[in-house]
Structure 1
Amino acid sequence: MTEPQAPVLFFDSGVGGLSILEPALKLLPRMPVVYAADRAGFPYGTKSEAEITARVPALLGRLVERYRPRIAVIACNTASTIALGSVRAALDIPVVGTVPAIKPAAISSRSRVIGVLGTEATVRQPYVDRLAAEHGADCLVLRHGSAALVALAEAKLRGEPLDPEIARTALRGLVEQPGGDRMDRVVLACTHFPLVQDELEAAAREVGAAPLLFLHGGDGIARRIDYLNGPSPWPEKPAPGIAVFTRMDPDIEPLRPELERRGLPQIELL
């Protein structure tokens, strides 16, 4: 049995993993949390596979050593599709990955045209090829990578003015591909993107897309954490959550209100 105050560790390159943390806390409100953002390595979506494979397991090893979590969640599609196996081999606790929600998109799509909107690194991964082949073999699976949409999500959480053209450009990258006019499901294959889902929904109407349903894996990951935790107790009153950054940049302080709103009042440097 795990100590009640042992936290669940959520890891991402930036604040995108907060979209995974929110449904987990909704299902498990007494869950202690450490949220780690690799600001020194941000953004992952433009990094090479070799860089991600070398960096992510080493960082998670340091985090696990310091915070002794019961479960680690890689709340990042890029890191999960590239380094999940390496992380699981390196750690002696359960590790949950975040992978594109292609299966539920394929199950629910009526037009049999699905968009996968992620980072450049995620959409080119063989892991995504396998998901598409296993779960969407009868679908046309379109892909587009957008680094600018990641930056938009970070800016939104800092309370900065947003350029709506960024969301429009990202969706045009799918809609303007052959068959894109029939697309009815879009998989948000970067954990940053649910944070700007409102902006994407507005953009979909403006670029002439068919009615779209956006999907991501947050609820499924919450259920997976609950399953892996099993009978281990949660504390009656969890300690305040901790947000850990690998580098203290000036733009971290503007994130404080959004971190506090998600139960992360304490900020630390790894």
Structure 2
Amino acid sequence: MTEAQQLPIGVFDSGVGGLSVLRALRAALPHERFVYLADSAHAPYGERGDAYVGARTHAITRYLLEQHHIKALVVACNTATAAAIHEVRASHLDLPLVGLEPAIKPALAVTRTGRVGVIGTRGTLTSAKFGKLLGSLAEQAQFVVQPCDGLAHAIERSVARPAPVLGAPVGATETGALCERYLQAMGDFGTAPGQIDTLVLGCTHYIFVAHELRALVGPHVQFIETGEPVARQTRRLLETAGLLATPDGAPATDVSRTRLLTTGPVAMLQAAAERWLGLPADCCETVSVP
């Protein structure tokens, strides 16, 4: 491999939700090295203004470039993508850059009732970027859009608690109660005419409460999330730029090839890494990103 091919891919989110994207990236790109940064000290992004989120996005991009010499960046946060990715792209023209947006285009391909639910943070769903995307597709389906205030933050807090007891009522946990409140506000889910048969998970955190969402909407509603499409796009960009890592006998499942950083309490990231990625605590460390 060339020196450039051996450089890591940077991945960041406002917290631990982006680990769902990192999980997909590690599966699709087994020979790559990754540096993941959770900006937990400044979370949740979804409840802050665009100027604040933009400033953090620029600061983290500079940090990952200067301190870790990343060869590509995945903005594993819908809110940061909506608020700042156009500015980051303009400032770093040579950096392969992948952002996230709620996957409503893929949802159109699978809905049969023509009613698609979209859940996400308020920052994402009220952004101009999402509004433009939704407006361009409005004639192709009925979209039921629901901001889920507090849900991403509750998922972050939940990693330090024991996993829900199998068979317990969904509303018995903080995350379950929030899921129940927001899905009930959206209307009926199912495959009958007039029901929502497809649910777009418009925040990287939400895949980690998929079991609670599934218990509420039933077995036939399709979930659409962004991890795998983002991993495919990242691979395409690396191939085009000649930066894709080649086999060297040490796949990225080796913990030495995945570094997990946080601007907040390291214990939360350690718990999430162990629960969701099967990675040990010594992969994680706290850093400062002014």
Query: Is the pair's TM-score, using the shorter chain for normalization, greater than 0.5?
Result: yes
Report the Cα offset of residue 3 of structure 1.
2.7
The aligned residue for residue 99 of structure 1 is 101
Structure 1 residues 88 and 77, CA, compared in 2 at 3 Å: closer, same or farther?
A: same
Residues 9-54 of structure 1 show CA distances to partners (whole Å, capped at 9, x for unaligned) of: 1100011111111111111112101000001211001001121122
SS of 1:182's equivalent in the other structure is: coil
Change (3 A) 1:4 1:263: farther
Q: For residue 150 of structure 2, give the secondary structure of its aligned residue in structure 1.
A: helix
Which consecutive residues of structure 2, in runs of 5 or more, have no partner in the other structure? 165-172
What is the CA–CA distance in structure 1 between the aligned matches of 2:269 and 2:104, rounded to whole Å? 33
Q: Report the Cα distance in structure 2 between the residues aligned to 1:47 and 1:176, rounded to whole angstroms.
A: 30
Q: Confirm or deny: 8 A CA contact 1:240 1:265 kept in the other structure.
A: no
Quick check: 2:269–2:284 contact (8 Å CA) kept in 1?
no
Name 2:119's counterpart in structure 1: 117
- Partner of residue 185, structure 1: 198
C-alpha spacing 1:254/1:26, structure 2 compared with 1 (3 Å):
closer
Matching of residue 243 in structure 1 with residue 243 in structure 2? no
1:165 is matched with: 177
Matches within 5 A, 1:149-160: 149-160=151-162
Distance 1:107 1:254, change over 3 A: closer
Hey, what does 1:223 align to over in structure 2?
232
Q: Residue by residue, what CA displacement relative to the aligned partner does 1:217-261 show, whole Å, maximum 9, x if unpaired?
A: 111111111111114334522543111112336544433523761
- 8 Å Cα contact 1:241-1:264 kept in structure 2: no
Distance change (3 Å), C-alpha of 1:86 and 1:264: farther
Question: Any idea what SS the aligned residue of 2:101 has?
Answer: coil
Distance of 1:114 and 1:253 partners within structure 2: 35
In structure 2, the CA distance between the partners of 1:60 and 1:173, relative to structure 1 (3 Å rule), is: farther
What's the TM-score, normalizing by structure 1? 0.88
Tell whether the 8 Å contact from 2:199 to 2:224 is kept in structure 1 after alignment: yes
Q: Which residue of 1 aligns with 2:167?
A: none
Are 2:13 and 2:39, in contact at CA under 8 Å, matched by a contact in 1? yes
Q: Which letter maps to 1:200?
A: L
Distance 1:140 1:264, change over 3 A: farther
Q: Confirm or deny: 8 A CA contact 2:274 2:281 kept in the other structure.
A: no
Q: 1:129-155: CA deviations, max 9, x gaps? A: 222232342211111111332133223
Alignment partners' CA distance in 2, 1:78 and 1:138: 24
Q: Which residue of 1 aligns with 2:11?
A: 10
Does structure 1 retain, via aligned residues, the 8 Å contact 2:8–2:70?
Answer: yes
Offset at residue 173 of structure 1 (A):
2.7
Structure 1: distance between partners of 2:277 and 2:118: 31
Partner SS for 2:100: coil
| Cα deviation digits, residues 34-86 of structure 1 (max 9, x gap) | 00000121100100112112221122111211111111000000111111111
Tell me which stretches of 4 or more aligned residues in structure 1 moved more than 4 Å. 262-265
Residue type matched to 2:131 in 1? D
Output the CA distance in 2 between the equivalents of 1:215 and 1:55. Answer: 28
Q: Distance in 2 between matches of 1:170 and 1:234?
A: 44
2:282 and 2:35 mapped to 1: Cα distance?
11
C-alpha RMSD of matched pairs (Å): 2.4
Counterpart of 1:195? 208
Length-normalised TM-score, structure 2: 0.82
CA distance in 2, matches of 1:4, 1:54: 29
Q: Is the CA contact (8 Å cut-off) linking 1:11 and 1:74 kept in structure 2? A: yes
What is the rounded CA distance, in whole Å, between the counterparts of 2:58 and 2:44 in structure 1? Answer: 16
Moved more, 44-53 or 234-243: 234-243
Q: Secondary structure at the match of 1:192?
A: helix
Question: 2: CA distance between counterparts of 1:228 and 1:253?
Answer: 30
1:128 aligns with 130
Question: Within the alignment, does 1:108 sit opposite 2:106 as a pair?
Answer: no
Q: Counterparts of 2:134 and 2:277 in 1: how far apart (Å)?
A: 37
Tell me the matched-pair count.
264
**Identity, % of aligned pairs?**
29
> How many Å separate the matches in 1 of 2:7 and 2:34?
9
Using the TM superposition, name which of 124-133 and 185-194 deviates more.
124-133
User: In structure 2, the residue corresponding to 1:10 is in which secondary structure?
Assistant: strand
Shift of 1:157: 3.0
